A and B are shown apart, each in its own frame.
Chain A
């Protein structure tokens, strides 16, 4: 008999989130069992995460809201079917003999729910996606079926882009270096790494990334999504088990599926569940045959962008060592944004990067570039250089992007001789604590870890999703809202991505707007006591830059003087 809960390749949901993500963990304060970080309920300890329980009446109203929308959707579908209501979207023509490309019920949600509030997504912008951005105004004459661009632009504050360290810039040292680079290296290598597309600048980047991560070697891929989906199949295959967090990103789900390995999920950030599944897998072996698994790969993300939670990495590493599994850590949202040196969750917890077998991350978020990397032992990376799908079937990284990463990473590492990188890292920490604290004080339900660079604010009701997004935009704050299927159906939320480029004045303005809109929409649901953390624990780096000389060895741990000078308490 197959172990309970084992998923074969089929049962993972198409929308990138995995089935079965339910409310089991709600109302808990997660905390680590690691000795030095004691359990805290109030946020005064080092590791604090909060997921306030959904108030019952809110849950009921939310379900009623969806119920109403579904009823109206069916009525209008019926009216469309009999030809009373005009169909405004472009629909599939009926070709005789052909099986229709889409089933009508497949797009029920898109047609009747998503369409009403479509203007909250895909807003085109026409400027750099920095602390502020210019949004192109769109109008719709038919309730979201079609949009038309007007000539008007609107300058708003940007709390939607992943620009954690503020490197989305069109001037400054990075942009200057990129401009120079275009003249020297061109825009593209025109080939894959193995087919003469491997330029010296790629080698430079690989080496720098390895040094930054504190691992032996690294390989880079021009697209973050593809880094997962094109490399995971090289690591595990048939007869291997992937233990994946239930809310892992779509790219990890796709990579797992393409690998052909058996996929099993564990509850989000739940170490007890992970241990139980690991134990069962090692003891029971493969389903039916009971042969031992060839390899077991634990796949987790550093920071979960929808939940704002941080993986309990010390515990994952303990379990991985105990059960001899391998660990795949996706640091898409944590690299650059977490840790005293901006080196991700490994740095945040003060762990040894060599304990993580596969260090994966992207350059989109903190480096203002695009693409992804995998770091690990020389043996692993050599294997990937030979067998990664990206190494032979697709383009190597475009040189301007490579340059942006090299420049921004050097600044973060302090190799440019200034403490600009440190300044940004500390500013981000201060900003996120400040915003999270204020939002908590105003009575919003805020999910996640106190140190996470993403701050999710719970909206719940479907109509409020659009209302919040539109009202904020009208008041000059651009935010991201997410609903089903990216979240569980009743837990729609807004997501604030903080950036080091945000100034205190900007945050204050945004907080003012949110306070006003929060009252207007009655979004302040929280009934919990205030957690005890604040931005005061973060020490900002003052502007007069003290020249910091690059240490000889830039591998963890960082020089003690530096960590004393700049550490978060």
Chain B
């Protein structure tokens, strides 16, 4: 004990320990053990119930899931319409529905590419070289030279740096949006956009702000709100990308977006603008380049253009085009591009040949627009319908002038009119929607699709048949 000086208090403490009675030491040791236990024991969780195995089995026994799918009666009107109006043979300008040869005003074959013999001939040549399927995604030997050629041709046609090809129209924009916009970003979107865009928005997990259809004041209101928000939190604003998603020509409404105003807002509020052109590509503009050509806007002002090859081009798939630095990103980030087999080469060739036709004869788009105007004018005169679409639109939505309060009833009435028209030689279809899931459900309508190859007589016949069919159905039902 010589090391510790005798004057130090510690010494006395140790001495005290040695002198303390045994019961005291035991008591202290117990206290220390108790503290250790308190430290290491789990905190008390109130209300935590532990179930016995028997109770668990009972719970498992008790649980009954909902049925996987609701029961659908076989005579559901949509199923019936689908099964009754089954198509036999080619769906070109004329189509055979229920054995009746009709003028085809239903399928989206705007430029008459489906049924074109030169396209079919080229496609068969391609079939004899490549077979049907590509048997792999683009990364793993699914890239054929025809895919590269089609991408190149599309980029050149659209006057863009690069184009990327998808194997399905729906997947194109639905994959493109989430490739750029992530959680935390903001997307301003017209509420009239098609379902594919809506799904792309959901997949992006960004903040979605819908503005009223084609209403620029409403958009600007939202943009000002965002600006105020950004000023409050500039640090966050620096990392928040802002996108604007619109359609060139709206599938659900048949009207054209006010692109010049949108571009103005883009530069003013620093937005990246994505335009979906499935219904304007091959339709608007002198050579069919779509909404940018229609308004005479430089295509470079648009950050990304997406369009399906399933409408005007009459093939399958879709593409995105724009600047190289934008488009290239999708080659590793576009889910529908990376993880899906590429487009069957014969369908890619069909698209190339369709582009050839458009380039050889740009007048075809003008013819289409003339036909659209003629159909529009004719249908506008009908008393039972209100035509909602732009005169230039290849899809003309016919809404009932006096809709009832019951959506199903209106749908049923329109279906009857379409069926009646089919009986009289004009194939018509309703616009179908997933009513519960659409963000903004339009009124039920008959969607009349215009084909560039229709003659004036045929258009006159179509209008007359629709007039007659609506008279027959609506007069008998009102009686």
Q: Give A contacts to B, CB under 8 Å.
A: 9-10, 14, 16, 90-93, 95, 97-102, 110, 114, 121-130, 133, 135-136, 149, 158, 160-163, 167-171, 174-175, 178-179, 182-200, 203, 222-226, 229-230, 234-235, 249-251, 254, 257-258, 279, 282-283, 292-296, 322-326, 357-358, 362-365, 367-370, 377, 379-380, 382-387, 389-390, 392-395, 398, 400-401, 404, 478, 480
A129–B339 CB distance below 8 A: no
CA distance A449 to B272 in the complex (A): 48
B242 neighbours in A (Cβ, 8 Å): 99
Chain B proximity of A427: nearest CB distance (Å): 17
B88 neighbours in A (Cβ, 8 Å): 199-200
B81 neighbours in A (Cβ, 8 Å): 194
Chain A proximity of B199: nearest CB distance (Å): 6
Q: Which of B156-181 contact A (CB under 8 A)?
A: 167-171, 174, 180
B315 neighbours in A (Cβ, 8 Å): 187-188, 398
Q: Which A-chain residue is minimally distant from B115 (CB atoms)?
A: A186
Known: A122-B143, A199-B88. A170 touches B128 (CB 8 A): yes
B140–A160 CB distance below 8 A: yes
Chain B proximity of A459: nearest CB distance (Å): 16
A178 neighbours in B (Cβ, 8 Å): 127, 132
Chain B proximity of A197: nearest CB distance (Å): 6
Chain A proximity of B1: nearest CB distance (Å): 54
Q: Which B-chain residue is minimally distant from A195 (CB atoms)?
A: B429
Query: Which size bracket describes the interface of B in this complex?
Result: 35 or more
A379–B194 CB distance below 8 A: no
Q: Which 6 A-B pairs have the closest CB atoms?
A: A190-B107, A383-B69, A223-B168, A225-B340, A186-B90, A394-B170
Known: A93-B325, A188-B314, A197-B91. 13 other contacts (CB 8 A): A98-B272, A121-B140, A122-B138, A178-B127, A186-B92, A187-B347, A197-B87, A225-B171, A368-B135, A382-B72, A386-B78, A393-B170, A395-B168
B124 within 8 A of A: yes
Q: Which of B401-439 contact A (CB under 8 A)?
A: 427, 429-434
Contact with A along B429-454 (1 / 0, CB 8 A): 11111100000000000010100000
Q: Which of B259-280 contact A (CB under 8 A)?
A: 270, 272
The 19 listed contacts between A and B (C-beta, < 8 Å) are A97-B270, A99-B241, A124-B148, A149-B148, A182-B124, A187-B120, A192-B432, A193-B82, A196-B95, A223-B168, A229-B336, A283-B51, A322-B60, A358-B68, A370-B133, A370-B341, A386-B79, A401-B344, A404-B133
**Which of A125, A168, A196, A384 has the most chain B CB within a 10 Å cutoff?**
A196
Known: A188-B314, A224-B341. A101 touches B171 (CB 8 A): no
CA distance A205 to B152 in the complex (A): 34
B316–A398 CB distance below 8 A: yes
A398 neighbours in B (Cβ, 8 Å): 315-316, 344, 347
B30 neighbours in A (Cβ, 8 Å): none
B393 neighbours in A (Cβ, 8 Å): none
Chain A proximity of B357: nearest CB distance (Å): 13
B108 within 8 A of A: yes
Chain B proximity of A562: nearest CB distance (Å): 28
Chain A proximity of B27: nearest CB distance (Å): 40
Out of B56, B133, B174, B331, name the residue touching A279 (CB < 8 Å).
Answer: B56
Contact with A along B126-147 (1 / 0, CB 8 A): 0111111111101111111101
B461 within 8 A of A: no
B195 within 8 A of A: yes
Q: Which of B66-92 contact A (CB under 8 A)?
A: 66-72, 74, 76, 78-79, 81-83, 85-92
B127–A282 CB distance below 8 A: no
B171–A324 CB distance below 8 A: no
CA distance A290 to B273 in the complex (A): 43
Contact with A along B214-240 (1 / 0, CB 8 A): 000000000000000000000001111
Out of A90, A191, A400, name the residue touching B132 (CB < 8 Å).
Answer: A400
B212 within 8 A of A: no
A133–B132 CB distance below 8 A: no
Contact with A along B87-105 (1 / 0, CB 8 A): 1111110010100000000
B340–A224 CB distance below 8 A: yes
Q: Which B-chain residue is minimally distant from A92 (CB atoms)?
A: B325
A282–B140 CB distance below 8 A: no
Known: A170-B127, A186-B120, A324-B64. A394 touches B82 (CB 8 A): no
Q: Which A-chain residue is minimally distant from B314 (CB atoms)?
A: A188
Chain A proximity of B327: nearest CB distance (Å): 10
Q: Which A-chain residue is minimally distant from B195 (CB atoms)?
A: A393
CA distance A123 to B56 in the complex (A): 55
B183 within 8 A of A: yes
Q: Which A-chain residue is minimally distant from B170 (CB atoms)?
A: A394
Chain A proximity of B71: nearest CB distance (Å): 6
A393–B194 CB distance below 8 A: yes
B66 neighbours in A (Cβ, 8 Å): 294-295
CA distance A88 to B237 in the complex (A): 30
A99 neighbours in B (Cβ, 8 Å): 237-242, 270
Chain B proximity of A209: nearest CB distance (Å): 16
Q: Which A-chain residue is minimally distant from B129 (CB atoms)?
A: A170
B469 neighbours in A (Cβ, 8 Å): none
Known: A186-B115, A325-B65. A175 touches B127 (CB 8 A): yes
A226–B332 CB distance below 8 A: no
Chain B proximity of A507: nearest CB distance (Å): 18
Chain A proximity of B237: nearest CB distance (Å): 8
B205 within 8 A of A: yes
A226–B272 CB distance below 8 A: no
CA distance A160 to B87 in the complex (A): 38
Chain B proximity of A392: nearest CB distance (Å): 4
Known: A190-B310, A293-B65, A478-B141. A283 touches B133 (CB 8 A): no
B91–A199 CB distance below 8 A: yes
B144–A168 CB distance below 8 A: no
Out of B141, B194, B238, B346, name the residue touching A480 (CB < 8 Å).
Answer: B141
B79–A225 CB distance below 8 A: no
A292 neighbours in B (Cβ, 8 Å): 63
Chain B proximity of A90: nearest CB distance (Å): 5
B316 neighbours in A (Cβ, 8 Å): 188, 222, 395, 398
B326 within 8 A of A: yes
CA distance A226 to B123 in the complex (A): 24
A394–B196 CB distance below 8 A: yes
CA distance A493 to B56 in the complex (A): 43
B131–A357 CB distance below 8 A: no
Known: A282-B63, A294-B66. A128 touches B129 (CB 8 A): yes
CA distance A250 to B137 in the complex (A): 13
CA distance A235 to B65 in the complex (A): 13
Q: Which B-chain residue is minimally distant from A133 (CB atoms)?
A: B141
CA distance A520 to B277 in the complex (A): 52
Chain A proximity of B374: nearest CB distance (Å): 21
Contact with A along B297-335 (1 / 0, CB 8 A): 000000000000011001110000000111011011101
**Which of A161, A186, A283, A294 has the most chain B CB within a 10 Å cutoff?**
A186
**Which of B128, B315, B338, B340 has the most chain A CB within a 10 Å cutoff?**
B340
CA distance A367 to B134 in the complex (A): 11
Out of B67, B76, B143, B447, name the residue touching A386 (CB < 8 Å).
Answer: B76
A187–B350 CB distance below 8 A: yes
CA distance A175 to B132 in the complex (A): 8
B114 within 8 A of A: yes
Chain B proximity of A369: nearest CB distance (Å): 5
Chain B proximity of A503: nearest CB distance (Å): 18
CA distance A316 to B114 in the complex (A): 46
B427–A380 CB distance below 8 A: no
Known: A99-B241, A251-B339. A171 touches B128 (CB 8 A): yes
Q: Which B-chain residue is minimally distant from A325 (CB atoms)?
A: B65
CA distance A14 to B143 in the complex (A): 23
Out of A126, A197, A362, name the residue touching B144 (CB < 8 Å).
Answer: A126
Q: Which A-chain residue is minimally distant from B134 (CB atoms)?
A: A129
**Which of B85, B114, B195 has the most chain A CB within a 10 Å cutoff?**
B114
A382–B325 CB distance below 8 A: no
A110–B169 CB distance below 8 A: no
B68–A364 CB distance below 8 A: no
